Amino acid sequence: MENWTITPFEPWAGLTGGILIGAAVVLLLLTLGRIAGISGISAGAMTKAGFEKHWRLAFLAGIIISALIYIVLMDGFPVQTQLGSGWMVIAGLLVGFGTRLGSGCTSGHGVAGIARLSPRSIVATLIFFGAAVITTNVIRHL
């Protein structure tokens, strides 16, 4: 736990990713009138029927396919974690619980909600980031 690595600053990758995420959010809102919140899209993909299910599955497939394209074009996708698989499973479960408790995830509240100046989304995003800062500091000092 004491050997923390520093992630290199890559502004072009961040800018490109931000533009693509923003474009996806705007296109989904303009074409279907839907908010691009991944937790809501995922839940609906499992519970809805017909067109509602199909566009959600297509959106999720696009996320997976784009990651695969990145892996091919960039010759891999190095992932480094400082915690073991057990901590990652716990973190994933907590994120899932948090998205249900907060009625949305960081993509829905943080990207689409703040862009619409939703007070609820602004508060939710501040809580997400505050909890992330606290959690990171607790984990690093365990």
CA torsion, ordered 125, 24, 41, 96, to nearest 10 deg: -40
What is the predicted pLDDT for the residue at 30?
93
Report DSSP letters for 51-99, one per residue. HHHHHHHHHHHHHHHHHHHHHHHTT------SS-HHHHHHHHHHHHHHH
What is the predicted pLDDT for the residue at 77?
75
Structural contact between residues 126 and 120, judged by C-beta atoms closer than 8 angstroms: no
What is the predicted pLDDT for the residue at 46?
92
Tell whether 23 is covered by a domain. Answer: yes
Q: What is the pLDDT of residues 58-105, one digit of tens each?
A: 999 999 998 899 889 888 777 777 778 888 889 888 888 888 777 877
Tell whether 73 is covered by a domain. Answer: yes
Statement: residue 110 has pLDDT above 80: yes
Tell whether 103 is covered by a domain. Answer: yes
Tell whether 37 is covered by a domain. Answer: yes
What is the predicted pLDDT for the residue at 32?
93
Classify residue 25 by burial, with Cβ atoms within 10 Å: 0-12, 13-18, 19+.
Answer: buried
Q: Place 119 in a pLDDT band, splitting at 50, 70 and 90.
A: very high
User: What is the tally of structural domains in the chain?
Assistant: 1
Q: What is the mean pLDDT of residues 117-128?
A: 90
Domain residue limits at 69: 11-140
Tell whether 4 is covered by a domain. Answer: no
What is the predicted pLDDT for the residue at 47?
94
Q: What is the pLDDT of residues 2-61, one digit of tens each?
A: 566 666 777 888 898 889 888 988 999 999 999 888 888 988 999 999 999 999 999 999
What is the predicted pLDDT for the residue at 39?
84
Q: What is the mean pLDDT of residues 112-118?
A: 87
Tell whether 3 is covered by a domain. Answer: no
What is the predicted pLDDT for the residue at 2?
57
Q: Which two tokens stand for residue 68?
A: 């695969």
Tell whether 26 is covered by a domain. Answer: yes
Tell whether 94 is covered by a domain. Answer: yes
Burial 75-95 (b: 16+ CB within 10 A, else e): eeeeeeeeeeeeeeeeeeeee
